[in-house]
Amino acid sequence: MEATTPLLQVENLGVCFTHGAMEAHALRGIDLSFYKEEIHGLVGESGSGKTVTSTCIMGLLPSPPGKIVSGRILFDGKDLLAIPETEMRKVRGRQIAMVFQEPGKYLNPAFKIGEQITEMLILHLGMTKAQAKERARELLGLVGLGKDGRVLDSYPHELSGGMKQRAMIAIAISCNPVFLIADEPTTALDVTLQLQILKLIKKLRDMLGMGILFISHDLGVVNEVADRVSVIYAGRIVESTAKSQLFTNPLHPYTRLLIMSIPDARKRGKRLASIPGRVPDADNTPTGCAFHPRCPLAVQRCRVENPSLVEYEIGHAVACHRAGETWNI
């Protein structure tokens, strides 16, 4: 996987939101590489910049107030940030598709599921209505909504939460995209449903060979699906590596704390670790390493010098002055 060229590459992406005189640096230069057939988990707390990253890739950053201040997004030999909107529209939905967190809100209540799928097929692939309907029926079967196509004629409110998310996924994969962004696709669902949806996403990755950006605040969920994980904190990637590496050998104290805060049956009865404090606001990021006020290992250097993301060992990048060090809990 390492040797092939990335399917999509985010380079030094910086995003700034302005509200009057206030400037909030939501992303402060992030690098991410996505590969074919790989599920890349992006983990971070709310407000860390996960969703902003995905909106930038989709070219849907609301501007104003948002503004891309630096970087490139390379995909299919183009910089998605530089191409005109008409060209970007052919990428959106056709080559890069997206699944959202709350399918109940992100599906249009006034249209049947069938129509919400077929309109894309007709628009992007130039299918006739009948062809599109047939394909929509297949897609619903593929995501586990039955092969009889009953759901085609259903409105979103007639479906359960899990079914809605499956329908949302059917819409996203309808045009065989090469890259899929799943933004917290299981957060709004019951735990039992979560696992089913995660399995479905993995199955579709295997069948269709998509590269997937899987965004979550929950490292436990990411552990279920991802091949590679990047941890984002206050608009910067602080650690990025293969999943197995990350869980066995976390280098960044933030990652380590996140892993310790995953509930685990084996640690039953013990107190669950929590990270004191909260993610700094994007308009008031601390100097030096943004994590230093919450970091158990912080030293003077962390307060003044922002560590850059460097390869600490092969295929394992981290941005920390005290990478790999541990402390007594």
Partner 1 sequence: MDLFWFFLRRFGRLLLTVFIISTLVFFVIRIIPGDPAMIIAGMDAPPEDIQAIRVKLGTDKPITVQYLEWLSSIVRLDFGNTMISGEPVTKLILERFPLTLILALLGISIGIVIAVPLGVLSAVKRWSFWDYFGLVFSQLGMAIPSFWLGIILLLIFAVKFPIFPLFGSETPAHFVLPAISLGFARAAVILRLARASMVEELSKEYVITARAKGLTENMVKYKHALKNALLPIITITGIELGYMLGGAIIIEQVFSLPGLGRLFLYGIYQRDFPLIQGGVVFVAIIFSLINFVADILYSIVNPKIRFE
The site for partner 1 (CB under 8 A) is made up of 58, 60, 89-94, 97-98, 100, 102, 105-111, 119-120, 123-124, 155, 157, 168, 171
Q: Cβ 3 to partner 1, closest distance in Å?
A: 31
Cα(13)–Cα(72) distance, integer angstroms: 6
H-type helices in 174-318, by residue range? 191-208, 219-225, 243-248, 253-260, 300-304
Give residues with Cβ within 8 angstroms of 293, minimum separation 6: 277, 280, 286
Cβ nearer to partner 1, comparing 74 with 123:
123
Q: Cβ 109 to partner 1, closest distance in Å?
A: 6
Q: Cβ 94 to partner 1, closest distance in Å?
A: 6
Cβ nearer to partner 1, comparing 28 with 124:
124
Q: Cβ 297 to partner 1, closest distance in Å?
A: 39
Cβ nearer to partner 1, comparing 10 with 320:
10
Q: Which two tokens stand for residue 29?
A: 């230069």
Q: What is the 3-state secondary structure (H, E, C) of 132-188?
A: HHHHHHHHHHHCCCCCCCHHHHCCHHHCCHHHHHHHHHHHHHCCCCCEEEEECCCCC
Cβ nearer to partner 1, comparing 116 with 223:
116
Cα(228)–Cα(219) distance, integer angstroms: 12
| Residue among 218, 224, 228 nearest 263 (CA) | 218
Cβ nearer to partner 1, comparing 126 with 269:
126
Q: Cβ 37 to partner 1, closest distance in Å?
A: 22
Q: Which two tokens stand for residue 206?
A: 């295997």
Cα(130)–Cα(148) distance, integer angstroms: 15
Cβ nearer to partner 1, comparing 150 with 303:
150
Q: Cβ 78 to partner 1, closest distance in Å?
A: 15
